[in-house]
Chain A
Amino acid sequence: MQYDVDARGYYGNFGGAYIPEMLYPNVEELRTRYLEIMQQPDFQKEFADLLRHYVGRPTPLYHATRLSEKYNANIYLKREDLCHTGAHKINNTIGQILLAKRLGKQKIIAETGAGQHGVATATVCALMGMECIVYMGKLDMDRQRPNVERMRILGTKVVPALSGNMTLKDATNEAMRHWINHPTDTHYIIGSVVGPHPYPHMVTLFQSVISEEIKKQLIAEIGQPNPDYVVACVGGGSNAAGAFYHYLNEEHVNLIGVEAAGLGVDSGESAATTALGKPGVLHGSKTLLMQTSDGQVVEPYSISAGLDYPGIGPLHAHLFETGRVQFVNATDDEAMNAGIELARMEGIIPAIESAHAIAALAKLELTKEDVVVVNLSGRGDKDLETYIRWGKY
């Protein structure tokens, strides 16, 4: 089975570049250059150096003994929460800003939902001395005040998206509109494995360092690179794409994607795209999309601001369709309880996105010999307010 992108920019039936002509030159420039630039030795050296000395990679693979005992398996946590800025998002923003520099771009734009990708983008722009504008839904700005201020401290201009429902989807629309209006000097750093080709592939490659490291670390831990399970949460799907990437062709490794069920898959307040979505086109790619029967995009819901996106990356749509990845979901309450459990048992407060991945452990039929890697994509500092409001601890 073919899991990588094909020459036309598709993963099976999904992907492509469904963009208005005004965006074509920008996307085409990227498409023709990204692989060539990423293969240049000086790019690879600068990327590797920054990941090591600035981001703090390799991130630890931690054997969570108390969690292992509880779930009757060998559970390892891939500690992306220990990355600089607190989540895996920076792996991608470092890669893209190095690429943008080599494309001769002077300005950077990005979208953000919860603010993690916005902070990761603002961080690398400060690092490289580049001008940065981040679009963020007005509603999200109100909900995620600390991240808005973090971006501002880093010198980024945060622009409220006032259209639609004023959340991540609308911030993405606004960033695309900005790019249409500034086609030559600006690079758009998309934060997930979504958007027109080559974004899903490019972001996956930048995040693939996660599974590359897991393989090496497992050899040291258990004498071989492959676990029985890799578990990761999926909003747009960038941390999952990175954690799955080097295992896609290892068919005996079970890959588990965990979506946000919100108040329940059938409650009308959910973000479980594979359960609720149908093929459609949004933000430049054909993928699974939550929408009405008339093709209007539905506003998703999750307690986690990083998972409430109405689509998933086209790679994940393909992995779902082919059955290579098993998609499960966790409700708000299941995720919050899992987050508290991890805090109490291992002393790690996870991001609520990542808590969804922990919550999936209870849904797997594990045996004592099973080796399970959970990608702990982010830390929970940004979510303290949500934990406090939820209050059941």
Chain B
Amino acid sequence: MKNRITELLSNTKKPVLSVFYTAGFPNLNDTEAIAISLEAAGADLIEIGIPFSDPVADGPTIQASNKKALENGMTVELLLKQVTSIRSKIKLPIVLMGYLNPVMQYGVERFFKDASAAGVDGLILPDLPLDEFPQYEALTASLNLSVSFLISPTTSEARIRKIDALSSGFIYAVSASSTTGAKDEFSSEQMAYFQKLKSLKLSNPFLIGFGISNSKTYAQACTNAAGAIVGSSFINQISTSKNLETDIRQFVKSLTA
């Protein structure tokens, strides 16, 4: 079977909307309802964050969601159970994203196997060093899991090429030298950076994340990239939601309008 992410990105004619949210937030068992609502609302890919006590690459919104999710009792083990159930109900590709330490304690190889068995299609582990990955590459490939690495505006072209060679599925292009968080619009420097990335003609498509918050930033990102990833502003939206389904439908509509 082909990897769902690869399939999505090679077949789609329109930009891809990937939505990130933290597992177990705002309530422990919301993970599934959010995934189902996102599919119904027209999202193309979902990224579920594994909460961690010390999320150094994240801004205040995602930090707060991590803290709440852990207080709610979220664990890697529980998340994999939730994903198994989600997979039986939706067709969208599912990516798990998380800091390395919880994965290490679960057991890196065991995590890859169990994630694949649960129906996960891809992984993003932002603090897994590039040089540590080759030892797992054969395993993730055999499990049909894509592994996406991040690049930022300060990443050199030589390193981008190296990251492209080790990534599968897509490359996660961080829009600015920053932690996660919503921004109103992208600057001309950022737009030039996206354009430069496109001109590199990498073997993987790239999705732009960090700072996507509204239809403007979404459209700006999609001008040059295969799609965009929205996280903080989505989490803001659902953190106080009384009706997840309605709010999520509206959120997706407002972005892609």
Q: Do A and B come from one complex?
A: yes
List the interface of chain A (C-beta within 8 A of B).
8, 16-22, 24-25, 163-164, 169, 173, 176-177, 180-184, 278-284, 289, 291, 293-297
| Residues 134-169 of B at the A interface (beta carbon under 8 Å) | 149-152, 154-156, 159, 163
| Residues 100-141 of B at the A interface (beta carbon under 8 Å) | 100-106, 126-129, 131-132
Q: How far is the CB of A179 from chain B (nearest CB, A)?
A: 9
Total count of chain B residues near the partner, CB < 8 A: 42
Interface check B56, CB cutoff 8 A: yes
Give the contacting residue for A181; candidates B104, B126, B179; CB below 8 A: B179
CA distance A16 to B128 in the complex (A): 10
Interface check B75, CB cutoff 8 A: yes
By the criterion CB–CB under 8 Å, are B177 and A295 in contact?
A: no
Q: How far is the CB of A339 from chain B (nearest CB, A)?
A: 31
Q: How far is the CB of A178 from chain B (nearest CB, A)?
A: 9
By the criterion CB–CB under 8 Å, are B101 and A173 in contact?
A: no
| A183 proximity list for chain B (CB < 8 A) | 154, 177
Interface check B250, CB cutoff 8 A: no
| A16 proximity list for chain B (CB < 8 A) | 129, 132
Known: A16-B129, A294-B105. A181 touches B178 (CB 8 A): yes
| B128 proximity list for chain A (CB < 8 A) | 18
CA distance A296 to B101 in the complex (A): 8
In the assembled complex, 6 residue pairs joining A and B whose CB atoms fall closer than 8 Å, in A order, are A21-B152, A169-B54, A279-B104, A294-B76, A294-B77, A297-B101
Interface check B33, CB cutoff 8 A: no
By the criterion CB–CB under 8 Å, are A177 and B56 in contact?
A: yes
Give the contacting residue for B102; candidates A25, A169, A177, A296; CB below 8 A: A296
By the criterion CB–CB under 8 Å, are A295 and B105 in contact?
A: yes
| 8 tightest A-B CB contacts, nearest first | A295-B105, A295-B102, A21-B150, A20-B57, A25-B154, A20-B126, A296-B53, A294-B75
Q: How far is the CB of A241 from chain B (nearest CB, A)?
A: 23
Q: How far is the CB of B57 from chain A (nearest CB, A)?
A: 4
CB closest residue in chain B, given A292 = B105
CB closest residue in chain B, given A165 = B53
Q: How far is the CB of B166 from chain A (nearest CB, A)?
A: 12
| B177 proximity list for chain A (CB < 8 A) | 22, 180-183
Q: How far is the CB of B94 from chain A (nearest CB, A)?
A: 21
By the criterion CB–CB under 8 Å, are B155 and A25 in contact?
A: yes
User: Which residue of B75, B126, B154 has the most chain A CB atoms within 10 A of its CB atom?
Assistant: B154
CA distance A284 to B151 in the complex (A): 17
Interface check B18, CB cutoff 8 A: no
By the criterion CB–CB under 8 Å, are B150 and A280 in contact?
A: no
CB closest residue in chain B, given A183 = B177
Interface check B5, CB cutoff 8 A: no
Give the contacting residue for A17; candidates B63, B102, B129; CB below 8 A: B129
By the criterion CB–CB under 8 Å, are A173 and B174 in contact?
A: no
Known: A164-B67, A181-B179, A278-B105. A297 touches B53 (CB 8 A): yes
| B163 proximity list for chain A (CB < 8 A) | 21
